[in-house]
Amino acid sequence: MSKRVLLTTTSFQDTPGSHQTLLDSQDWEIVRARGPLSEAEMLDLAGEFDAFLCGDDAITAAVIDRSLPRLQIISKYGIGLDKIEVDHATAKKVPVLFTPGVNHTTVAEHTFGLLLSLSKKIHSNALAVENGEWVAGWKKPVGNEIMGKTIGILGLGRIGKEVAIRARAFGMEIIAFDPYFDEAFAAQHQIKRCTDMDEVLHHADVVSLHCFLNAETEDMINAAKIAEMRDQVIVLNCARGELVNSEAIAEALKSGKLGGYGADVLDAEPPAPDHPLIGAPNCIITSHIGSRTHQSVQRQANRCLHNAINFFAGEDDVLCANGLI
């Protein structure tokens, strides 16, 4: 009997590449939806699928329960599992597969794109030129170099490490905090280990977030933490929107306490028109495209597919996040 598979990831569907050929070669019935889907949307679809090939869809306990007994696997396109109730999936014996090691370089590049754009006023200046403001006598904006500045990295995992490598190439000083600090990597790249997040916030000119979202990290950058930072710090967030308090960031941008905020993620995606960060000064928000490159999409999609293909074939080459394989 052919497997019935729900595919929700838009970058997978919209990007040409070898993953499309691999998907077409499978004897699966593919049902396509354009995620990320809410819990209500997932509940409407749940119950008739052997597998979810999912992105940041809300796969809650209720969705998992309604999907049983047919659902055999959840194959995540990506590495962040905060939208999946993994503990409940584990209790129900549903393997959660994922794709570590596929997007760290491209997200690090995006992080530096945001940093350079904010520091050098590239984005705002380009918009001004496009709007016809470059005329005789125009007072041009003045940016800042990043060489010699201190970047504080919160979360020195795969992406954080790639950011550190690029920061070193730009001549920046690097400090970092991670509960599972890699001493060998830090020694190789001259990274100072901080004892906690506050030490990073006290000494950094740039704060870059690369943490998983959980109960401890949610709202980790709030008004109180911003007050601890130096004036004119740039905050970068290519991890999860819920790591920061959006209202506090917006207020700090308006007051001039923060020098800039660059993010590829928001706490609500897509945002409402009145989201506090939309239109905030010295703020660049991109639409969760940090890992959306032709190269990264193919790596993620092929790994996501191979996880599912190998699972159904009973093969060992499966990356499982919850220990059921």
Closest by alpha carbon to 174, among 157, 190, 195, 198?
190
- Residues 307, 309, 312, 314: what is their CA dihedral angle, to the nearest 10 degrees? -70
Answer whether 206's CB lies under 8 Å from 238's CB.
Answer: no
212/269 Cα distance (integer angstroms): 17
| Residues known to be catalytic | 240, 269, 288
Rounded to whole angstroms, the Cα distance separating 211 from 222 reads: 15
Distance CA 58, CA 30 (A): 19
Cα 154 to Cα 136: distance, rounded to the nearest angstrom: 44
Which tokens go with 13? 């569907």
Tell me the H-state helices in the chain: 10-14, 18-24, 39-45, 61-67, 86-91, 104-119, 122-130, 158-169, 183-188, 197-203, 223-228, 246-255, 294-313
Whether the Cβ atoms of residue 187 and residue 209 lie closer than 8 Å to each other: no
